[in-house]
Structure formats: structure tokens, C-alpha cells
Structure 1
Amino acid sequence: MKNDEGEESRVLLENYRVLLKKALDYLWERIKVERREVKKGKRVITKVKVTLSKKEEVYKSLRDELEEVNVLASHYVDKAISDAYSVLRSWRRRAEKGKASLRKPKLKRVYVRVKSTLRKVEGESVRITVRPYEYITFSWSHTWFSPRVKGLELGEPVIKEDKVHLPFRHRLPWFTPLDYLAIDSNLYTLDAYDGEKFVTFSLRELYSLKFGMELKRGRIKSFASKHGRKGGKLMEKYSHRERNRVRDYVHKFVNKLLEMYPVTTFAIKKLNKQEMFQDADDKLSKRISRTVWRSIHRVLKYKAPLYGSLVKEVNPHLTSKSCPRCGRVSRKAGLSGVRGVGSPWTGN
């Protein structure tokens, strides 16, 4: 929703930026970066390892430093420390993969995710504490989504300069689902095992959609290279269209899967495409690039609780060689008669 409290929220954002920047500077001075060379075939690759200070070791001294410059409620200091660690952990993952430079990450657009201790829900509005006895109130009583969120619980509001994001969630019972479904992600199918039988879910329609859009995007690239700005807009349009179609298919697919298997624990492989590309030839790499495994897994993870289900990511090591019934590991590289990457055999 639109941020109608621009002036008041700007004070909160500017002061929170000061806290977050100081926390980042403090932690950055204590980061250790190690480089080592690894021989991979005929190539020599430089590996980078980044070590962050443990939170419990620096928390007290960092908190004392932030309190000296803090003009907001005290809870924002704890939030700034958590956010600083979140920023650096995200940067570390990308830096160790070679996708980010080893320079300190910059704060571009600062937002504040308000903790539950700093907000109070009153009817169809939320009161957020800025300083002791100073508040900002946001109401959603006359918004388009007001009827759709009745009876739902408000999560942690996210305040930006121009917008306020209000996440709502269902209250779910705490229990462990008794049924389970082990899923193996292949090029054209999801092969699953429910303890009694194998089930195959076809992804050929999604694969064909990606393949068709890839051909169309190739023709548009040729056009864009000759028509400058007009071609760039056309390229952006079709890229946006592809993302929307893929997203729509994934959400509908996951909804049907969860309707078929409610109150179920889903076991899925934690796949890494980059490692697959290293071991595949050009033809197989193109096929792997058209898959959307992570999108399916991500949507499944956040929608599963709405159906009383859980999602567990497992290490893919030996899962394509293990028998789901007895656990025996086959000596063969893979099971015969299986198309795609992996097999319908999934570990216990």
C-alpha cells in the first residue's frame, strides 16, 4: 500500500540507515578473506573463503556502539545488527561463488522490517513505534485487499520511502505430517515415491514453453541489435512475458500437487545448476538451463504450510543410486531406462 506517512517514516528510515551502516562498518573490519588456488583438470581456479565474526562474540560491544548514536527505540538496534549479518551473509554466498566483488557491499535503498515488539495491531490498522511515545499508524480499512485478509494474522510490516508492505499469514496448527512424498527433479518430469508406489508428474508443457520463448527471444535479440532503444523495449517486454507465464504455470502446478497430497512431508533434492553445467556437455547444459527446479521448490516451500505440509531439502548425494524401499546403494552410475537428469529413485 502507499506510504501516506512520508515525513514521519523518512525520519525512521534515515536514522535506521545510520544504525545499519555503522553495524556493517563494524562487522566489515572483522571479516577474514582467504584465497587459495585449486587445480581443476588443466585449469587453476582461485577459491575464496569469507569468515564472518560470530554474532555472540561481537554482539555486546557492537550493541553498545550503536546505542551511542541511536535516536530511535532500542529494539531497532537489535534489528540493525540482524540485518547487517543478513546483508553480509548474502554477499558472502555470492562472493564465494565469484558472483560479487570482494569490496564492502553498499546500501542503496534502505527499508525497515518492523519487529513484532515494535508494532501493535488495532482493528484494521497497525501502530508502529519510532521513538518512545512517538508512533506511525498505517490503516488498510479502505484498501482493495481489506476483505481478503480478514481473520489473518499480520506479520512484520516493511516500510519503504514510498510504500508499506503488510504481510499476512494463516494461523496453522503445529504438528508433523504423517504422510511423505520423496520427489526427484528431472528434465521433463518430477518422479515421486510415496512409500508404496512411484508417481510421475510431467513438466513437458513447461519445458516446451521455455524452449519456445527461447527461440522467440533469439529472433528478438537479432532485431534489438539493429533497432536500439525500440529493440531493447521489445526484449524487455518478451522477457517479462516469459517470467509471468512460467510463474503462472509453476503456481498452478504446485497448487494441484498440494491438493493431491495435503498434510504431507515433501523431500526434495537441493540441486545446484552451476555444478551440473560443469559436468555436462553443451547440449545437456542448454536443456538444464530451461528447467525451473528452484522456482518449483521455492513456491512449494512457502505454500506447503497452508495445506498443513512441510518441505525438507536433502543432499542429492547417492539419491539416484539408492533404493527407496531397502536403502541399498547401486554400484551403477544410474538406473537404466530413465530420461533426464537423475532417476525416479529417491533416498529414504
Structure 2
Amino acid sequence: MNSFTPPEESIYLTYAVKNERRGETLLLIREYKRLLDKVLDHLWNKTRVEVESITDRRGRHHKRVRVTLPKKKEVYKGLRDQLEEVNPLASHYVDKAINDAFSILRSWRKRAIRGRVSLGKPRLKRPYVRVKSTLRKVVKDEVRVTVRPHEYLTFSWRGAWFKDRVKGLELGEPVIKEDKVYLPFRYKVPKQTPLDFLAIDSNLFALDAYDGEKFVTFSLKGLYSLKYGMVKKRGKVQSFASKHGKKGRELLRKYSHRERDRVLDYVHKFVNALLELYPFTTFAVERLDKQDMFKNASSKLSRKISRTVWRSVHKVLKYKALLFGSRVFEVNPYLTSRSCPRCGFISRKVGKTFACERCGFKLDRQLNASLNIYLKMCGFPHLDGIPSKWVGVTPLMGRRRMKVKNSLDSREAQGLRIDIKLYEIR
């Protein structure tokens, strides 16, 4: 009998603790990597890769890649029996190695079809061990991991900063690496329906949004400036690394981690500020693909696009929104900035301001995109009877050809300043 009860949703909050059993852990990682490499070798011998040359209507030649992976049901039993004979660890590590190998190959197949990786056998660059639930036991603030029968490793988060956050949460499958142990805790999302809607159009220096009543622009210039400065500094670090061997590589690795951490810190603070302004909200974001943008972009525009982190913002927003009772959906951005939200007319030529040649509707191109994303989220390509005036808010600097009216207040959230003004678009 079918139930009308919505399915239970959950997310995993992952925290890291220092690996204080590094010497014993290295033996576990080494043996597990051997198992994983043997599984990858076995599956790769049964994987079929086909490359076909095709010609499009314009006479351009392209390569079409087809990858056929072996079916898990056909190879699982025989492969498991072979690995059990050479496995020095607990028997459940064999099951986990087979599952991880299939996951690696599926991920590689997606990128190979898109032409983003080589067609050779994928290799595991960073060894790790993902501990199956049957191989770990949680006792208060500790997890005991079985290495071999009657041989265990224990990791604790008793004095960790996140101890109170994970109280009462269920521990998932820990991931053990050489320096850290990652602990994913399962958080069950409360069943509730978001009350508000917000459609977001992602641009180089800002996120332009529409919430059903007004337009809001969130500036990303601080993040873009951060990335721009890091690109300049990275060039100097790479030049130094190429001349100083091991010392240079160590410096480059250290700087790469610092760059990633600073960008993620900014993104998390930005998303926190956004969710505090719009709790219990259904967000609609664009399904963007940078590789497609690079095809028709100039070299100058390509450099600017490469410094954006749209996917990082969307990814962090997607999993953090559930903690605020919100949801995130992806919308196809095709023609959102060139379509008229009132009559549906598609303009071939769009500048900074969208002007409909059929009904005369005018609006900033980026705000028009957020409005069309909002309509797509509601299930309508366009709506008739949209009022001729749209009232909204926008930063003090950045919008042109707009008639500015009375100034509203400024607000500051977690160090991210959002200055706004009220305007009307005729």
C-alpha cells in the first residue's frame, strides 16, 4: 500500500580529527590500497572503451567516447572469492574495496565521456580507507575500527570543538587518511515546507535574485578580488617551485591548501549570511557548466570565468539549506536573460538592458534572468498580466540606466556588507 508520507531526508555533517594512530593506520591504508588496486585492475580488463569520430553539420570533427563497465552482479562473487585468498584484513574490507572501485570507475566514465580526463586506467592518487558500518562500533565519543579479527583502532572526538554539535547524531562510515580521520554524522532533516521563494542568477561579480516581491543583488566582488590576488601570487609560487625542487613543491602544496581554505571560508560565510536573510526558503539556482562557457568566450572573459566559484556556492548552499529548513533546486539557464517574462518573446540581441520588441517590457538583463528563473521554478515559462513596474533593491553601485529613488538602510551580516537602494523600472 502506497503511503502519502514524504520520504525521510538526511544530510551528513563531516568533521575531521587528527590521526593520532598514524603508524598503525599506515599499515591499514597500505593493505586496503592493494585490495583496491587489484579490484581496479580486474574491472579495467573487463571495461570497454570505444572512440568514434563524428562530423557535425558545420563540418567540424569531434570524438565521441563510449565506455561500457562490467556489471557488478556478474563479477562480484568471483572477484570476492579471489580477494579473500590474499586479503590480510577483516573480510568486510573486500566488499568495501569492490564498491569503492565501481564508484571510482563510474566517476571516471562521466568525465571521460565529456573529454575531461585521459582514457587510460584511473589511478588512486590519495590512498584512504572507508570503513564499512559493520567494521566500526561507536561508544560515547569514540569509534572503534576493526582492522583484523580481535585487532582494533580507536579514534575519539571527546575534546573536539564540534562535540556538542554532533550529540545525538548517528555516525556514518569514517574515512581514514594518513593525517586525519573524517567522521560523517547523519542529521535527519525535519519535515517542513519552505514558505518563501528566491530565484538566483549567477554573474561574474554578483548574484542577482528575485523573491516574488523585490530584486536583491548580493555582491561577490570580495570573493572575485580574493581569487584574482591568489592567481597572481600562485604564478610567483609556481615559478619559485619550478626552480627549487622538493622545497618548491612543498611550498606550492602549502599555498594550494591555503588558497582553497580561504575561498571555502568566504563561501561558507556568504552562504550563512544568505540563509539567515532567507530562512525557510525554496532557492532556484542555475545549472551551470563552465566548460561550455569557455567554448565561445574570449580569452579575457575566459580568465574571468575561471576565477568564479559558482558551483562551490551552489554546492555549499545545497547542503546547508536543509539545516535552515530550506530547499535548493537547479534550473536550466537557457534563454533566461533573453526571454520576456511578460509575453515570452525571445530577443536575439540583448545588451545591459533587456527590451522586448513585442510588448515593450524593459529590465536590466541580469535581473530579467532572475525573474525568468523564478517563473521557471513556479512552472511557468512566462506569465501574462505582469505589472509594468517592478520594485526592488540593488547595491549602491553597479546598476546603470535605472531611475534611483529613496535610499533604504544598509545591513551587515557576518562581515558581508549589502548596501541597497529602492528603484522603479518603467
Pick one of 26, 34, 51 that aligns with 1:35.
51
Pick one of 75, 93, 113 that aligns with 1:76.
93
Aligned to 2:369: 343
Q: Is the contact made by 2:147 and 2:153 (CA closer than 8 Å) also made in structure 1? A: yes
Aligned to 1:127: 144
Q: Is the contact made by 2:208 and 2:366 (CA closer than 8 Å) also made in structure 1? A: no
Aligned to 1:157: 174
Map of 1:329-340 to 2, 5 A cutoff?
A: 329-333=344-348, 335-336=354-355, 338=364
Q: Which moved more, 1:253-262 or 1:298-307?
A: 298-307
1: CA distance between counterparts of 2:296 and 2:263?
A: 26
Q: Which moved more, 1:59-68 or 1:94-103?
A: 59-68
Residue 255 of structure 1, CA deviation = 0.6
1: CA distance between counterparts of 2:32 and 2:90?
A: 10
Letter in 2 for 1:84: A
In structure 2, do the counterparts of structure 1 residues 206 and 96 end up closer, same or farther at CA, with 3 Å as the change threshold?
A: same
Letter in 2 for 1:343: A
In structure 2, do the counterparts of structure 1 residues 3 and 246 end up closer, same or farther at CA, with 3 Å as the change threshold?
A: closer
Pick one of 310, 317, 330 that aligns with 2:327.
310
2: CA distance between counterparts of 1:127 and 1:319?
A: 52
Pick one of 105, 114, 121 that aligns with 2:122.
105
Pick one of 36, 41, 54 that aligns with 1:25.
41
Map of 1:268-283 to 2, 5 A cutoff?
A: 268-283=285-300
1: CA distance between counterparts of 2:126 and 2:227?
A: 33
Map of 1:286-325 to 2, 5 A cutoff?
A: 286-321=303-338
Aligned to 2:220: 203
Aligned to 2:276: 259
Q: Is the contact made by 1:6 and 1:162 (CA closer than 8 Å) also made in structure 2? A: yes
Letter in 2 for 1:278: K
SS at 2:199's partner residue?
strand
Percent of counterpart pairs with the same letter?
Answer: 61
| 1:89-133 deviations in Å (ceiling 9; x for gaps) | 232233334333222122344211112232221111111223444
2: CA distance between counterparts of 1:265 and 1:180?
A: 5
**For the aligned residues, what is the CA RMSD?**
3.6
| 1:287-308 deviations in Å (ceiling 9; x for gaps) | 3223221121122123222212
Q: Is the contact made by 1:32 and 1:52 (CA closer than 8 Å) also made in structure 2? A: yes
Q: Give the TM-score normalised by the residue count of structure 1.
A: 0.81
Aligned to 1:137: 154
2: CA distance between counterparts of 1:57 and 1:178?
A: 48
In structure 2, do the counterparts of structure 1 residues 232 and 129 end up closer, same or farther at CA, with 3 Å as the change threshold?
A: closer
Letter in 2 for 1:106: R
Residue 142 of structure 1, CA deviation = 4.1
Higher helix share: 1
Residue 56 of structure 1, CA deviation = 4.0
| 1:285-337 deviations in Å (ceiling 9; x for gaps) | 2332232211211221232222122222233334445667x8x6432245445
Pick one of 187, 191, 195 that aligns with 2:204.
187
Q: Is the contact made by 2:241 and 2:251 (CA closer than 8 Å) also made in structure 1? A: no
1: CA distance between counterparts of 2:199 and 2:308?
A: 19
Q: Is the contact made by 1:184 and 1:342 (CA closer than 8 Å) also made in structure 2? A: no
Q: Is the contact made by 2:335 and 2:346 (CA closer than 8 Å) also made in structure 1? A: no
2: CA distance between counterparts of 1:99 and 1:318?
A: 26
2: CA distance between counterparts of 1:130 and 1:162?
A: 18
Long gaps (5+) in structure 1: none
Q: Which moved more, 1:225-234 or 1:182-191?
A: 225-234
2: CA distance between counterparts of 1:231 and 1:106?
A: 25
Residue 271 of structure 1, CA deviation = 0.7
SS at 2:279's partner residue?
coil
